[in-house]
Structure 1
Amino acid sequence: MKKGFTLIELLVVIVILGILAAIVVPRITGRVDEAKVEATKVQMKAIKDSLEQYKLDNGFYPTTEQGLRALVEKPNTPPVPTKWRQYLDKLPKDAWGNDFIYISPGVQRPFELRSLGPDGKEDTEDDIDVWNL
Protein backbone atom coordinates (compact mmCIF):
# COMPACT_ATOMS: atom_id res chain seq x y z
CA MET A 1 0.00 0.00 0.00
CA LYS A 2 1.44 3.36 -1.07
CA LYS A 3 1.28 6.24 1.29
CA GLY A 4 0.99 9.76 -0.04
CA PHE A 5 -0.58 13.10 0.63
CA THR A 6 -4.22 13.72 0.00
CA LEU A 7 -5.44 16.77 -1.89
CA ILE A 8 -6.78 18.28 1.35
CA GLU A 9 -3.41 17.91 3.09
CA LEU A 10 -1.63 19.59 0.16
CA LEU A 11 -4.16 22.45 0.13
CA VAL A 12 -3.71 22.99 3.88
CA VAL A 13 0.08 23.20 3.46
CA ILE A 14 -0.28 25.64 0.53
CA VAL A 15 -2.65 27.85 2.54
CA ILE A 16 -0.25 27.88 5.51
CA LEU A 17 2.67 28.79 3.24
CA GLY A 18 0.55 31.55 1.67
CA ILE A 19 -0.29 33.01 5.08
CA LEU A 20 3.37 32.93 6.14
CA ALA A 21 4.41 34.63 2.89
CA ALA A 22 1.73 37.32 3.37
CA ILE A 23 3.16 38.08 6.81
CA VAL A 24 6.90 37.88 6.03
CA VAL A 25 7.20 39.44 2.54
CA PRO A 26 5.87 42.93 3.46
CA ARG A 27 8.26 43.09 6.40
CA ILE A 28 11.24 42.21 4.23
CA THR A 29 10.32 44.62 1.42
CA GLY A 30 9.67 47.38 3.94
CA ARG A 31 13.19 46.91 5.30
CA VAL A 32 14.66 47.11 1.81
CA ASP A 33 12.91 50.46 1.20
CA GLU A 34 14.10 51.78 4.57
CA ALA A 35 17.65 50.67 3.80
CA LYS A 36 17.58 52.49 0.44
CA VAL A 37 16.37 55.69 2.10
CA GLU A 38 19.14 55.46 4.71
CA ALA A 39 21.78 54.73 2.06
CA THR A 40 20.64 57.78 0.08
CA LYS A 41 20.84 59.95 3.20
CA VAL A 42 24.40 58.76 3.86
CA GLN A 43 25.37 59.57 0.25
CA MET A 44 23.80 63.01 0.55
CA LYS A 45 25.74 63.74 3.73
CA ALA A 46 28.98 62.76 1.97
CA ILE A 47 28.13 65.03 -0.98
CA LYS A 48 27.28 67.89 1.40
CA ASP A 49 30.62 67.44 3.18
CA SER A 50 32.41 67.48 -0.19
CA LEU A 51 30.56 70.66 -1.20
CA GLU A 52 31.58 72.31 2.08
CA GLN A 53 35.22 71.33 1.47
CA TYR A 54 34.98 72.69 -2.09
CA LYS A 55 33.75 76.01 -0.68
CA LEU A 56 36.51 76.13 1.94
CA ASP A 57 39.14 75.56 -0.77
CA ASN A 58 37.71 77.89 -3.40
CA GLY A 59 35.49 80.41 -1.62
CA PHE A 60 32.28 79.40 -3.42
CA TYR A 61 30.09 76.41 -4.19
CA PRO A 62 29.90 74.95 -7.70
CA THR A 63 27.23 76.65 -9.80
CA THR A 64 24.11 74.84 -10.96
CA GLU A 65 25.64 74.68 -14.44
CA GLN A 66 28.84 73.10 -13.10
CA GLY A 67 26.75 70.77 -10.97
CA LEU A 68 28.02 67.98 -8.76
CA ARG A 69 30.39 66.99 -11.57
CA ALA A 70 32.62 69.79 -10.19
CA LEU A 71 33.40 67.49 -7.27
CA VAL A 72 34.82 64.87 -9.66
CA GLU A 73 36.30 66.94 -12.53
CA LYS A 74 37.68 70.47 -12.47
CA PRO A 75 35.12 72.80 -14.02
CA ASN A 76 36.18 74.96 -16.97
CA THR A 77 33.10 77.21 -16.91
CA PRO A 78 33.23 80.37 -14.77
CA PRO A 79 33.85 80.67 -11.94
CA VAL A 80 36.82 78.33 -12.37
CA PRO A 81 38.15 77.21 -8.98
CA THR A 82 41.80 78.05 -8.36
CA LYS A 83 42.44 75.51 -5.60
CA TRP A 84 40.40 72.62 -7.00
CA ARG A 85 41.13 69.03 -6.10
CA GLN A 86 39.11 65.87 -6.61
CA TYR A 87 36.50 65.72 -3.85
CA LEU A 88 34.72 62.51 -4.89
CA ASP A 89 35.95 59.46 -6.81
CA LYS A 90 32.82 59.27 -8.93
CA LEU A 91 29.50 61.02 -9.30
CA PRO A 92 27.05 59.18 -7.02
CA LYS A 93 23.43 58.33 -7.75
CA ASP A 94 20.74 57.76 -5.17
CA ALA A 95 19.75 54.23 -4.11
CA TRP A 96 17.16 54.06 -6.92
CA GLY A 97 19.70 54.91 -9.63
CA ASN A 98 18.61 58.54 -10.12
CA ASP A 99 20.87 61.59 -10.28
CA PHE A 100 20.76 63.94 -7.32
CA ILE A 101 19.24 67.37 -7.95
CA TYR A 102 21.73 70.16 -7.24
CA ILE A 103 20.94 73.88 -7.49
CA SER A 104 23.30 76.65 -6.42
CA PRO A 105 22.53 79.14 -5.10
CA GLY A 106 19.43 77.76 -3.43
CA VAL A 107 16.30 79.68 -2.49
CA GLN A 108 16.95 80.07 1.24
CA ARG A 109 20.15 78.03 1.51
CA PRO A 110 23.54 78.26 -0.17
CA PHE A 111 22.56 75.26 -2.31
CA GLU A 112 19.79 72.70 -2.77
CA LEU A 113 20.56 68.99 -2.82
CA ARG A 114 17.67 66.55 -3.21
CA SER A 115 16.84 62.99 -4.18
CA LEU A 116 13.56 62.24 -5.92
CA GLY A 117 13.08 59.29 -3.58
CA PRO A 118 11.52 55.91 -4.36
CA ASP A 119 8.90 57.19 -6.82
CA GLY A 120 11.43 59.13 -8.94
CA LYS A 121 9.06 62.12 -9.23
CA GLU A 122 9.89 65.67 -8.22
CA ASP A 123 8.01 67.54 -5.47
CA THR A 124 6.37 64.51 -3.90
CA GLU A 125 6.18 63.46 -0.27
CA ASP A 126 8.99 60.92 -0.52
CA ASP A 127 11.64 63.38 -1.80
CA ILE A 128 14.73 63.57 0.41
CA ASP A 129 16.29 66.99 1.09
CA VAL A 130 19.82 67.31 2.49
CA TRP A 131 18.72 70.12 4.83
CA ASN A 132 16.03 67.91 6.44
CA LEU A 133 18.08 64.81 7.28
Structure 2
Amino acid sequence: MLAINNRKGMTLIEIMIVLAIIGGISALLLPRLTGSMDKAKVKETKIHMGQISNALQMYYTDCNKYPQTLEGLTTQDPNCSNWGPEPYIKNIKDRWEHDYVYELNGSEIHLKSYGKDGREGGSGYDADISLDDL
Protein backbone atom coordinates (compact mmCIF):
# COMPACT_ATOMS: atom_id res chain seq x y z
CA MET A 1 0.00 0.00 0.00
CA LEU A 2 1.04 3.47 -0.72
CA ALA A 3 1.00 5.83 2.27
CA ILE A 4 -0.33 9.26 1.48
CA ASN A 5 0.68 12.02 3.86
CA ASN A 6 -2.34 14.29 3.58
CA ARG A 7 -1.78 16.94 6.23
CA LYS A 8 -4.72 19.25 6.93
CA GLY A 9 -4.77 22.11 9.43
CA MET A 10 -2.03 23.46 11.64
CA THR A 11 -0.15 21.94 14.52
CA LEU A 12 -0.34 23.30 18.02
CA ILE A 13 3.18 24.75 17.70
CA GLU A 14 2.24 26.65 14.55
CA ILE A 15 -0.88 28.07 16.21
CA MET A 16 1.15 29.18 19.24
CA ILE A 17 3.71 30.90 16.98
CA VAL A 18 0.93 32.79 15.16
CA LEU A 19 -0.63 33.84 18.47
CA ALA A 20 2.76 35.02 19.77
CA ILE A 21 3.26 37.14 16.64
CA ILE A 22 -0.23 38.66 16.95
CA GLY A 23 0.37 39.31 20.66
CA GLY A 24 3.70 41.04 19.95
CA ILE A 25 2.19 43.27 17.29
CA SER A 26 -0.73 44.13 19.60
CA ALA A 27 1.65 45.02 22.42
CA LEU A 28 3.45 47.44 20.12
CA LEU A 29 0.33 49.10 18.71
CA LEU A 30 -1.93 49.25 21.77
CA PRO A 31 -0.19 52.22 23.49
CA ARG A 32 -0.34 54.23 20.28
CA LEU A 33 -3.99 53.39 19.80
CA THR A 34 -5.03 54.38 23.32
CA GLY A 35 -2.98 57.59 23.07
CA SER A 36 -4.76 58.44 19.84
CA MET A 37 -8.13 57.77 21.44
CA ASP A 38 -7.33 60.06 24.39
CA LYS A 39 -6.12 62.77 22.03
CA ALA A 40 -9.36 62.47 20.07
CA LYS A 41 -11.42 62.73 23.28
CA VAL A 42 -9.62 65.96 24.21
CA LYS A 43 -10.48 67.42 20.79
CA GLU A 44 -14.08 66.17 21.02
CA THR A 45 -14.45 67.70 24.48
CA LYS A 46 -13.20 71.06 23.19
CA ILE A 47 -15.69 70.91 20.31
CA HIS A 48 -18.47 69.91 22.69
CA MET A 49 -17.62 72.79 25.03
CA GLY A 50 -17.97 75.14 22.07
CA GLN A 51 -21.41 73.65 21.39
CA ILE A 52 -22.40 74.14 25.04
CA SER A 53 -21.15 77.72 24.88
CA ASN A 54 -23.37 78.30 21.82
CA ALA A 55 -26.31 76.68 23.62
CA LEU A 56 -25.72 78.98 26.60
CA GLN A 57 -25.79 82.01 24.28
CA MET A 58 -29.05 80.82 22.69
CA TYR A 59 -30.54 80.30 26.16
CA TYR A 60 -29.43 83.82 27.11
CA THR A 61 -31.02 85.24 23.96
CA ASP A 62 -34.31 83.43 24.64
CA CYS A 63 -34.48 83.90 28.42
CA ASN A 64 -32.43 87.08 28.97
CA LYS A 65 -30.33 85.24 31.56
CA TYR A 66 -27.99 82.24 31.82
CA PRO A 67 -29.22 79.04 33.46
CA GLN A 68 -28.19 78.39 37.07
CA THR A 69 -26.98 74.88 36.08
CA LEU A 70 -26.25 73.13 32.80
CA GLU A 71 -29.40 71.06 33.32
CA GLY A 72 -31.23 74.26 32.38
CA LEU A 73 -30.14 73.57 28.79
CA THR A 74 -31.75 70.12 28.76
CA THR A 75 -34.98 70.60 30.71
CA GLN A 76 -37.52 73.39 30.34
CA ASP A 77 -37.18 76.40 32.62
CA PRO A 78 -40.62 77.43 33.95
CA ASN A 79 -39.29 80.98 34.48
CA CYS A 80 -38.55 81.41 30.77
CA SER A 81 -41.50 81.73 28.41
CA ASN A 82 -39.30 81.49 25.27
CA TRP A 83 -37.56 78.22 26.24
CA GLY A 84 -37.61 75.36 23.77
CA PRO A 85 -39.54 73.53 22.57
CA GLU A 86 -36.46 71.32 22.03
CA PRO A 87 -33.53 71.16 24.47
CA TYR A 88 -30.68 73.52 23.63
CA ILE A 89 -28.28 70.59 23.92
CA LYS A 90 -28.86 66.95 24.84
CA ASN A 91 -25.56 65.79 26.36
CA ILE A 92 -23.97 67.82 29.15
CA LYS A 93 -21.12 65.42 30.02
CA ASP A 94 -17.58 65.51 28.66
CA ARG A 95 -16.25 62.72 26.45
CA TRP A 96 -15.05 60.75 29.49
CA GLU A 97 -18.65 60.90 30.81
CA HIS A 98 -17.71 63.28 33.65
CA ASP A 99 -19.85 66.28 34.56
CA TYR A 100 -18.63 69.65 33.37
CA VAL A 101 -17.86 72.26 35.99
CA TYR A 102 -20.19 75.21 35.31
CA GLU A 103 -20.04 78.43 37.28
CA LEU A 104 -22.13 81.52 36.79
CA ASN A 105 -20.89 84.82 38.24
CA GLY A 106 -23.39 87.48 37.26
CA SER A 107 -23.18 87.60 33.47
CA GLU A 108 -19.85 85.76 33.33
CA ILE A 109 -19.83 82.01 32.70
CA HIS A 110 -17.04 79.52 33.35
CA LEU A 111 -17.10 76.03 31.87
CA LYS A 112 -14.45 73.41 32.55
CA SER A 113 -13.77 69.71 32.06
CA TYR A 114 -11.36 68.04 34.47
CA GLY A 115 -10.02 65.81 31.68
CA LYS A 116 -9.50 62.07 31.61
CA ASP A 117 -9.00 61.58 35.35
CA GLY A 118 -12.02 63.69 36.33
CA ARG A 119 -10.03 65.57 38.98
CA GLU A 120 -8.87 69.17 39.09
CA GLY A 121 -5.36 69.84 37.82
CA GLY A 122 -3.26 67.22 36.11
CA SER A 123 -1.14 67.14 33.01
CA GLY A 124 -1.32 65.53 29.61
CA TYR A 125 -4.74 63.98 29.01
CA ASP A 126 -5.62 64.54 32.69
CA ALA A 127 -5.23 68.32 32.33
CA ASP A 128 -8.23 70.60 32.81
CA ILE A 129 -9.88 72.01 29.69
CA SER A 130 -11.72 75.33 29.90
CA LEU A 131 -13.50 77.65 27.50
CA ASP A 132 -10.35 79.78 27.45
CA ASP A 133 -8.52 76.85 25.78
CA LEU A 134 -10.81 76.89 22.73
TM class, shorter-length: 0.7 to 0.9
Residue of structure 1 equivalent to 2:25: 20
Counterpart for residue 37 of structure 2: 32
CA RMSD across the alignment: 2.9
Structure 1 CA distance, aligned partners of 2:61 and 2:74?
16
The correspondence of residues 18-97 of structure 1 with structure 2, limited to 5 A, is 19-63=24-68, 67-76=69-78, 80-85=79-84, 86-97=86-97
Alignment partner for residue 117 of structure 2, among 113, 116, 119? 119
Deviation at 1:91, TM superposition (A): 3.6
Unaligned ranges ≥5, structure 1: none
CA distance in 2, matches of 1:53, 1:10: 60
Return the alpha-carbon distance in structure 2 between the equivalents of residues 83 and 13 of structure 1: 64
TM-score normalised by the chain length of structure 1? 0.72
Q: Which runs of 5+ in 2 are unaligned?
A: none
Larger Rg: 2
Using structure 2 for the length normalisation, give the TM-score.
0.72
Question: Is the CA contact (8 Å cut-off) linking 2:55 and 2:89 kept in structure 1?
Answer: no
Which residue of structure 1 aligns with residue 130 of structure 2? 129
Identity of aligned residues (%): 34
SS, match of residue 108 in structure 2: coil
Structure 1 residue ranges (4+ consecutive) displaced by more than 6 angstroms after TM superposition: 9-15
**How far apart, in 1, do the equivalents of 2:111 and 2:44 lie?**
15
